[in-house]
Amino acid sequence: MRRRLLNLNGLIAVNKPPGVTCSDLLNNIKIKLFNEISEALPISVRRQFKIGHGGTLDKNAEGVLVLGIGLATKNLTQVLKGNKKYDAIGCLGSATNTYDSTGTVVCSHSYCHVSREDLEKALETFRGNILQVPPIYSALKINGKRMSDLAHRGQHVDPKPARLVTVHSLECTQFTSPHFNLTLHCGGGFYVRSLIHDLGKSLGTSAHMTHLIRTEHGPFTLTQHALQPETLTIKVIEEALLRNI
């Protein structure tokens, strides 16, 4: 069993549940696999086993999280570069410091003037290559420390400069004011929270994200490839790796 664990090598996808960080999810998976062999598994074996994730999902987001196992941990960025698809829900009328529903409301504005037609017209300016300022509450780092960690501690954090990101497609699939549903296909480095925050401003009101699910990342889709984390065993991973070859 130890040999089988250490011979795992490749990429799989899991369906990350909301309410858990990517790092915590990885730790939970490691513990589950180690316990499958023995609770007293030597530290040397635990250290040899490598697993990482490609493309952080917010704690309260869900959906496709691609995991690299063994030597594949070194190829995550290369394999997953670019293509990501999301379903998101936004709420008009208020903005938060985190740009989503987990944060503190920092401003509120009337939204009664916003129609679906207004929203769809505003979406046109967010397609293609655009400049986007990443949210302060993010995994981006300053001097080796996450911006979100610094902000949560009450430290002043200057936002990162705007950077070029790509939106291949962006559509409104439902509008029931104040809520609206979006589907989008974007490149790397894109923040859906920032999109919704900026969209609210462009509509003359405020907005924040209430739900996010990643439906696709690189060649992995939620419906065809994502495994449930609680079902992972060495055998399940071996079978998934064979399917993904």
* CATH number of the domain to which 51 belongs: 3.30.70
130 shares its domain with 237: no
17-34, pLDDT tens digit by residue? 999 999 999 999 999 999
pLDDT given for residue 54 in this prediction = 86
Q: State the DSSP code for 152.
A: H
Looking at the DSSP bridge assignments, the partners of residue 36 are none
pLDDT given for residue 245 in this prediction = 59
120 shares its domain with 90: yes
pLDDT given for residue 98 in this prediction = 94
Q: Are 158 and 146 in contact (CB under 8 A)?
A: no
What is residue 124's three-state secondary structure? Answer: helix
223 shares its domain with 212: no
Dist CA 140 CA 37 (whole Å): 36
94 shares its domain with 170: yes
156 shares its domain with 224: no
pLDDT given for residue 65 in this prediction = 95
Range of the structural domain that residue 66 is part of: 2-81+219-243
pLDDT given for residue 137 in this prediction = 87
Which two structure tokens, joined as six digits, stand for 211? 């739900």
Looking at the DSSP bridge assignments, the partners of residue 176 are 179
38 shares its domain with 123: no
Dist CA 158 CA 155 (whole Å): 10
132 shares its domain with 57: no
Domains in the chain, number: 2
Clarify whether 58 is annotated catalytic.
yes
Choose, from 58, 87, 149, 158, the residue flagged as catalytic: 58
Residue owning tokens 């990162």: 160
57-98, pLDDT tens digit by residue? 988 999 999 999 999 998 887 777 778 999 999 999 999 999
88 shares its domain with 201: yes
Dist CA 136 CA 152 (whole Å): 10
The pLDDT profile of the chain, 245 residues, written as one tens digit per residue, is: 889 999 999 999 999 999 999 999 999 999 999 999 987 788 888 889 999 998 789 889 999 999 999 999 988 877 777 789 999 999 999 999 999 999 999 999 999 999 999 999 999 999 999 999 999 888 888 888 888 888 888 888 888 899 999 999 999 999 999 999 999 999 988 999 999 999 999 999 999 999 999 999 989 999 999 999 999 999 999 999 998 75
pLDDT given for residue 155 in this prediction = 85
User: What residues contact residue 97 under an 8 Å CB cut-off, 6+ apart?
Assistant: 103, 104, 106, 136, 137, 151
Q: Taking each helix axis from N to C terminus, what angle separates 234-243 and 22-37, rounded to the nearest 10 degrees?
A: 120
Dist CA 132 CA 203 (whole Å): 17
What predicted TM-score, i.e. pTM, was given to this entire model?
0.92
